[in-house]
A and B are shown apart, each in its own frame.
Chain A
Amino acid sequence: MTAAVVPIRAAATDAAGPPLLALEGVTLSFGGVRAINDVSFDVRKGEIRAIIGPNGAGKTSMLNVINGFYHPQQGTITYKGTVRRRMRPYDAASQGIARTFQNVALFKGMTTLDNIMAGRTLKMKRGFLWQCLRYGPALSEEIENRRAVEEIIDFLEIEAIRKTPVGKLPYGLQKRVELARALAMDPELLLLDEPMAGMNLEEKEDMSRYILDVNRLWGTTIALIEHDMGVVMDLSDRVVVLDYGVKIADGAPEEVQKNQDVIDAYLGVPH
């Protein structure tokens, strides 16, 4: 391998592009419970943005708001420069927002290949009648997408489990297939909900490397939730910290690490 060794973090200043996504005063409540309370932050194009916070801080709700699964009662969300109105998850998907889940949400009855092909659903346009025939345009389209899928399989090194039903895979690999499925959507914004939960050290190292490579090779903007502080500090360009649905800190990892509010939120303070 003669390829130049790339520094672990590409200079963070590269990522200081215009905001791809901006949230302004977002408030989400379920009945009397305020899951997110007046939170504003932005995600710049090409950066890795971490969302952290103790359990129940509203991190996953935040992701659900971003990809249109929950509708905030107040606040505006600006994506790619346009303020977006109430939208369905389908619209978010077609605008290039992909997502992985905290508890693996793969299609259990399908093979790895089919799961990743599922991520290409929006790239396939042939209608019902062509699908009935299969041979001809529908199959060419399928093969075209298969080629794209194989590239991702190659990238994530999961060639050997291509034809294995995902239900039979170990947990770490399932997480990787889920990342592959999200990547198959060619996302502009990739939301990762605890991509390293429940992994051992080696799997975490692999996953970190993949996340960095995705960010660098394809320029994909990534917003991730993670509890492993070491990972968060090493990977992310900027960190936003939530606690009880309120934003308590926002900034570079080093700043956030020293912030007294963040330390208090994690360690607790005597009242």
Chain B
Amino acid sequence: MFYREAGQFKTSYRADMAVFPILQDRIGLGVILFVAVVLVPLLGDDFFLNTIMIPFLIMALATIGLNILTGYAGQLSLGAGGFMGAGAYACYKLTTYFPDTNILILVLASGLVSAAIGIVFGLPSLRIKGFYLAVATLAAQFFLEWCFIRIPWLYNSNASGAIEVPGRTGFGVMLTGPSASPEARYFAVLGLVALLTWIASNLVHGRIGRSWMMIRDMDIAAELIGVRPLRAKLSAFAVSSFYLGVAGAMMVFFWLGAAEPSSFSINLSFLILFMTIIGGLGSLVGSFFGAAFIFILPVLIRAAPRTFGIDVAADAVQHLTYMIIGALIIVFLIVEPHGLARLWQVGKQKLRTWPFPY
């Protein structure tokens, strides 16, 4: 078949250690980038960009963030929504003080604020593990949500208590606010997500990613080899919160346009956690699968009756969506408990040996 690595010899460790050692994978990545950069903005209408592509990419980035903490470093967290909120509010405050600064830089800077908060709430992870740590991160979630409601300074003391995104530019193009075009926002999101995914991939393939996985798989052995648990765990918390913070800022600035404290409730945390688990713990490509499964599939199912001309009441469609997605989650977890990423790997392995079973 076409997916076969026969004849592709590695003659250096550099080639053997490439992130995509197989030629077909590199071609596939090129095709995906081409589709994302050229075809999607060319063929997609505003609805497609606004309700599918932009939120999908943002959710995928948030999932990568949680995956770094839970999937790679093995620290279960329920605070994803809170850290996303921290990024969003930080970006709002930053753009209030620096209205003329490139908004993309402010989005990244707000990730740093979120990372600092993540380090503080990551401190308990040195003592507590597993479900108990999840409860401790739940405290972070509730505390941050409380801050968004009770500290008027965070939302510039608006009467509504919500944050409204002002029009901001980056590289001379209007990127946020009501007057920004979907294409401009899409490219801003795509650029940041691609850049941060690349960095995440670099991190997990190097020494730091390895030390995260060592802590996850066998913390005692990791310690005796020379990994300092404090550093490994806190760096995972910091990087994870950075990604979540950037995703949160992008969610408000490039997608929703406005947000209130309830946008970052525990529901969002659960949503990100589901994406991480269903996509596959410890897999970057799985993060994209998970975000697509949980986020895009419901949109498609909701659009299906209209497309096929079947007349179903709107609330019935809503209920049907919940039922179908719920059933699919259970089916997938039974078929492959390690997530869609593992299914993808198994599929690739089958292709490599096709037509033989192994």
Contact = CB atoms under 8 A, between A and B. Distances in A.
Contact of A121 (B216, B227, B235, B282): B227
Interface centre among B13, B205, B206, B235, by most A CB within 10 Å? Answer: B206
B207 A93 contact: no
Interface size range of chain B in the complex: 20 to 34
Nearest to B201: A134
A8 B44 CA distance: 74
Given A93-B226, A110-B213, A121-B226, A131 B13 contact: no
Contacts of A92: 224
A162 B223 CA distance: 23
Interface size range of chain A in the complex: 35 or more
A143 interface: yes
Nearest to B74: A109
B224 A93 contact: yes
Given A90-B226, A132-B202, A143-B17, A107 B207 contact: no
A181 B225 contact: yes
B225 A121 contact: yes
Interface in B1-45: 13-14, 17
Interface stretch (A35-43, A50-58, A111-119, A247-255): A111-119
Nearest to A101: B221
Given A90-B226, A121-B211, A132-B203, A107 B221 contact: yes
B223 A89 contact: yes
A68 to B, nearest CB: 8
Contacts of A146: 13, 17
A105 B235 CA distance: 23
Contact of B226 (A69, A101, A122, A132): A122
Nearest to B232: A121
A30 interface: no
Nearest to A185: B225
A17 B128 CA distance: 45
B225 A119 contact: yes
B17 A106 contact: no
A89 B224 contact: yes
B220 interface: yes
B218 to A, nearest CB: 5
Interface string A132-144: 1111001100110
B203 A131 contact: yes
A131 B217 contact: no
Nearest to A117: B210
Interface string B214-244: 1011101111111110000001000000000
A181 B17 CA distance: 19
A185 B226 contact: yes
Main secondary structure of the interface of B (DSSP, over half): helix
Nearest to B12: A143
Contacts of A117: 210
Contacts of B203: 131-132
Given A121-B207, A142-B17, A143-B17, A109 B217 contact: yes
A85 to B, nearest CB: 18
A98 B226 CA distance: 10
A142 B205 CA distance: 10
A87 to B, nearest CB: 12
A126 interface: yes
B221 A94 contact: no
A107 B235 contact: no
Interface string A48-89: 000000000000000000010100000000000000000011
A124 interface: yes
A209 interface: no
A69 B224 contact: yes
Contacts of A138: 202, 206-207
B147 interface: no
Nearest to A162: B16
A128 B208 contact: yes
A34 interface: no
B304 interface: no
B330 interface: no
A164 to B, nearest CB: 13
Contacts of B149: none
A78 B40 CA distance: 67
A98 B230 CA distance: 20
B282 to A, nearest CB: 7
B202 A128 contact: no
B199 interface: yes
Contacts of B210: 110, 114, 117-118, 121
Interface of B: 13-14, 17, 199, 202-203, 205-208, 210-211, 213-214, 216-218, 220-228, 235, 282
13 contacts: A69-B224, A89-B224, A105-B218, A106-B221, A107-B217, A114-B210, A118-B210, A124-B207, A131-B208, A138-B207, A139-B17, A181-B225, A185-B225
Given A121-B211, A132-B199, A139-B17, 17 more contacts: A89-B223, A90-B223, A90-B228, A93-B226, A106-B221, A107-B216, A109-B282, A110-B213, A110-B217, A118-B211, A124-B207, A128-B208, A131-B202, A132-B203, A133-B202, A134-B206, A143-B17
